Structure 1
Amino acid sequence: MLIGVIADDFTGASDIASALASGVEGKGGLSTVQFLGIPDGVAPTGIDAGVVSLKSRSIAAREAVRQSVAAADWLIKAGVEQIIFKYCSTFDSTPQGNIGPVAEALADRLGASKVIFCPSFPANGRTVYQGNLFVHDVPLAESGMAHHPLTPMRDSDIRRVLQSQAARRVGHLPYQVVQGGAQSIKKALAQMEAPFVVVDAISDCNLVQLAESQASAPLVTGGSAIAAGLAENFIRRGHARSGQFHGETIDGPEIVIAGSCSGATLGQIEYHRASHPEMAIDVDAVMSGEVDADTYLPFLLENAGNAPLLHSSAPQNVLERIQKHYGSSKVAARLDRLFGDIAAKAVAHGVRRVVVAGGETSGAVANALGFSSLRVGKQIDPGVPVLISTTEKPVALALKSGNFGAPDFFEKALNTMVTS
């Protein structure tokens, strides 16, 4: 393997796997496999990039560090030349969060004296300017992420957020330098004393130039969008050939599960329910133990062929009531367990295509299904590829971050699985 990725959640892992496989401008990147958790044994042969999916974004920092360093150790044994620490393009974290501690531990493990931080993902409206993160044209702290149930982002200045978590000093590389190109970036970074550097980027071109400047860096951190340029570095040097995504097609019964309450997912639910069967989970009944996976499984199986949608998403006022009454972490844990059970039972009953909306929900489903690795296929929407299990009877998955995807994402994902 040439590139190894440590991703702090499952949808983020799929996101960056897609970028590595698609390459710059979708022209083709690296042969990529996504691993669900830290793999056992030796790495498979014949792949250029391996993405280790952790579920470490919202856990205690010490445990996140332990898991991330263990993932790095496995990737180093696999022979990778560069490691990417991938976090969300909205820098999901808190003052007690994991991005700083994990980055410091990985820098120590890899001997990285200068590490960049760039969550920018222009295709999905995430950009960094003057050290501040924007969601489309709205500062992060004024976007819907300010109300995230687990990692509310109430400061748009990524420098301050990162510095609150890290012992190392945090610097800033402004857009005026970035637009000068790879050599300008490289020179400026070499002259900076701060070991951690938040980098401005407002376009894919900026990210390609930034990636070129990091061709020899042992550790890079950021969102998924920089990965295409990092893959191109190896292709340019002749270490890999482009066009390596897996094009396997999967047909058969399908289900759609949504556990996200983001604006994008709520819009996708409204779009899908207009022409497909839909059922909302009764969260109060779930919390009281009145319902379980067997309560909802018949709806999905009976409507196979019509892209049935099961969701727990709710408007902000309903969400706030539920979280206040039961506690947000307890609600999230109970729903994650329920969705995982439902998905596992559905696949056991012959379901072959599974679409999941929401980072935590995707992680729960992936864990419950028990797949050890997934081949990365065609991109559905920016940041979301088709993933195909390496099992004897393959299952196709789409694991979507809550904020990603077009309004018709659910149906598009199911169709792409059949036509990859």
Structure 2
Amino acid sequence: MSAHVRRGAVADDFTGATDLAGNWTARGLRTSVLLGLPDDASAEDLTEDDAVVVALKTRSASTDLALDQSVRAGRFLREWGAEQLYDKYCSTFDSTPEGNIGPVADALLELTGASRAVVVPSFPDNGRTVYQGHLFVGDEPLHESPMKDHPLNPMWDSSVPRLLTPQTQHQVGLVPLQVVHQGPDAVRAALAEHEQDGRRLIVVDAVTNEDLAVISTATQDEPLVTGGSGLALGLPARDREPRVLSRVPGRRVVLSGSASRATQQQVASARKVLPHAQLDVAAYTENPEAEVSRLLDLTQVAWQSDPDRAVLIYSVGAPDDVTAARALGDDVSQRIETAFASLATALSSAGASEFIVAGGETSGAVLESLGVRRLEVGQQLSPGVSWLAGTTADGRRHNFVLKSGNFGTEDLFVAGWEGLT
């Protein structure tokens, strides 16, 4: 397999898809993101692409739905010409034995005919590393990091093999860091040994981008790899100028539906500078139209005062907000997504053309509400965070940043706009 192979990825949420696409773009691959299951028309403009990511919303979906959509997306990518499939999931993995990571990996093994696949959640540029099979966030094991209190996917174990084993039909192996440091041939030999012993999903340690480069070289001929987006950074860089996106005339807005600790810090930083309002989930539950109208009116007043300044609308700004939201019922996250989807449509109609959106589920809801089906990947703002461009269902071009809850610099909501030309 050459370095210029076409690559396709199946991602389990929209922010993860753009995260991977940004990393591929940073390595010089011309990359597009397709939102939702592609249809025949989706392939028409992909002939010039080196890589395509299909963004699904399957991280928290039923396993049957996740399997069906992932296999259909993988089949489309192979028909398009992808010689290697990349099964992209969150770099902080999944907390439950019923999680979808294992079943989807099993299904893609069968689809591709792969006899094995690596499992590489590491993304060192964002502080995600794996050592002796244990996933770290910065200097902390995953189960001791702020992710242990994540409202949707709390993490109570840092052992990737232990997390994966109950999710898959196959035995799980581990290639430790000392083998990775011996180079690609040593990794290939270790993978082959695990395969001989019946282990088809094999976790590989990585703590630096150099480790990712070793793993990428060792797996360049594999039909399937799985992991977070970090493994994409192990590819050799191509000498190609990245696509640079220009500003789309119009208004700017930040929609933050994430409850992660990092996003709370970004909200706190932005509130010092940007006009802002908080989504009242209880009020939205009582009268959705009235709450969306209230936020739209506040935003338009702020735009009238300063047309070039972004307006921040957020659901969670502090830990107490998480507690209050949980008290509103098990479906509160769905209500928040629906609220932001309705608000995004209203804001777009009112003149918003550039959106920074925080949260994977929120990002998916916003883009689906706007009818965006394909994204061009532009300049990278920070690891895992890039500017994107897409066209809405009614033909209007918009710019987006879709940010995973834990990604991005603290000043992203304020300074991210400077990345547009």
| Cα distance in 2 between the residues matched to 1:242 and 1:300 | 43
Q: Check the 8 A contact 1:32/1:48 in 2, yes or no.
A: yes
Query: Which residue in 2 is equivalent to 1:312?
Result: 315
Query: Which residue in 1 is equivalent to 2:384?
Result: 383
Q: Secondary structure at the match of 1:303?
A: helix
For 1:212, which of 211, 217, 227 is the aligned residue?
217
Pairwise CA distance, 1:158: 0.7
| Cα distance in 2 between the residues matched to 1:321 and 1:298 | 25
Query: Which residue in 2 is equivalent to 1:238?
Result: none
Counterpart amino acid of residue 411 in structure 1: V
1:13 lines up with 2:9 in the alignment: no
Counterpart amino acid of residue 261 in structure 1: A
1:394 lines up with 2:391 in the alignment: no
For 1:243, which of 240, 243, 265 is the aligned residue?
240
Query: Which residue in 2 is equivalent to 1:155?
Result: 157
Q: How many correspondences in the alignment?
A: 403
Query: Which residue in 2 is equivalent to 1:202?
Result: 207
Query: Which residue in 1 is equivalent to 2:279?
Result: 281
Q: How does 1:14-93 map to 2 (within 5 A)?
A: 14-23=18-27, 29-42=28-41, 43=43, 44=45, 45-93=47-95
Q: Check the 8 A contact 1:21/1:244 in 2, yes or no.
A: no
Query: Which residue in 2 is equivalent to 1:405?
Result: 408
Counterpart amino acid of residue 294 in structure 2: T
Query: Which residue in 1 is equivalent to 2:233?
Result: 228
Q: Secondary structure at the match of 1:197?
A: strand
| Cα distance in 1 between the residues matched to 2:122 and 2:375 | 26
Q: Check the 8 A contact 2:245/2:387 in 1, yes or no.
A: no
Q: Secondary structure at the match of 1:117?
A: strand
Q: Which runs of 5+ in 2 are unaligned?
A: none
Indicate how the Cα distance of structure 1 residues 244 and 8 shifts in structure 2: closer, same or farther if over 3 A, else same: farther
| Cα distance in 1 between the residues matched to 2:183 and 2:296 | 53
Q: Check the 8 A contact 1:171/1:196 in 2, yes or no.
A: yes
Q: Could you report, residue by residue, the CA deviation over 1:15-70 in whole angstroms, capped at 9, with x for unpaired residues?
A: 000000001xxxxx100001111111151221111010001000111110111001
Q: Check the 8 A contact 1:30/1:244 in 2, yes or no.
A: no
Q: Check the 8 A contact 2:94/2:163 in 1, yes or no.
A: no
Counterpart amino acid of residue 223 in structure 1: G
Pairwise CA distance, 1:245: 3.1
RMSD: 1.5
Query: Which residue in 2 is equivalent to 1:372?
Result: 373
Q: Could you report, residue by residue, the CA deviation over 1:163-188 in whole angstroms, capped at 9, with x for unpaired residues?
A: 01111000111001011111111111
Pairwise CA distance, 1:322: 2.7
| Cα distance in 2 between the residues matched to 1:286 and 1:137 | 39
Pairwise CA distance, 1:93: 4.0
TM-score (norm 2): 0.92
| Cα distance in 2 between the residues matched to 1:30 and 1:19 | 9
Q: Could you report, residue by residue, the CA deviation over 1:64-86 in whole angstroms, capped at 9, with x for unpaired residues?
A: 01110010111111011111010
Query: Which residue in 2 is equivalent to 1:140?
Result: 142
| Cα distance in 2 between the residues matched to 1:412 and 1:138 | 28
Q: Secondary structure at the match of 2:167?
A: coil
Pairwise CA distance, 1:271: 1.0
Query: Which residue in 2 is equivalent to 1:185?
Result: 187
Q: Secondary structure at the match of 1:215?
A: coil
Query: Which residue in 2 is equivalent to 1:303?
Result: 302
Query: Which residue in 1 is equivalent to 2:261?
Result: 263
Q: Could you report, residue by residue, the CA deviation over 1:75-105 in whole angstroms, capped at 9, with x for unpaired residues?
A: 1110111110100111134211000000000
Q: Check the 8 A contact 1:264/1:402 in 2, yes or no.
A: yes
Q: Secondary structure at the match of 1:352?
A: strand
Q: Check the 8 A contact 1:31/1:244 in 2, yes or no.
A: no
Counterpart amino acid of residue 322 in structure 2: L
For 2:123, which of 121, 124, 144 is the aligned residue?
121
| Cα distance in 2 between the residues matched to 1:48 and 1:93 | 33
1:355 lines up with 2:345 in the alignment: no
Q: Secondary structure at the match of 2:222?
A: coil
| Cα distance in 1 between the residues matched to 2:203 and 2:332 | 34
| Cα distance in 2 between the residues matched to 1:257 and 1:205 | 35
TM-score (norm 1): 0.93
Q: Could you report, residue by residue, the CA deviation over 1:185-216 in whole angstroms, capped at 9, with x for unpaired residues?
A: 11111111211101110001000110111111
Counterpart amino acid of residue 33 in structure 2: Q
Indicate how the Cα distance of structure 1 residues 229 and 373 shifts in structure 2: closer, same or farther if over 3 A, else same: same
Q: Check the 8 A contact 1:168/1:195 in 2, yes or no.
A: yes
Q: Could you report, residue by residue, the CA deviation over 1:304-332 in whole angstroms, capped at 9, with x for unpaired residues?
A: 32211000014334322431x3323x101
| Cα distance in 2 between the residues matched to 1:200 and 1:386 | 30
1:112 lines up with 2:114 in the alignment: yes
Q: Check the 8 A contact 2:209/2:233 in 1, yes or no.
A: no
| Cα distance in 2 between the residues matched to 1:267 and 1:242 | 36
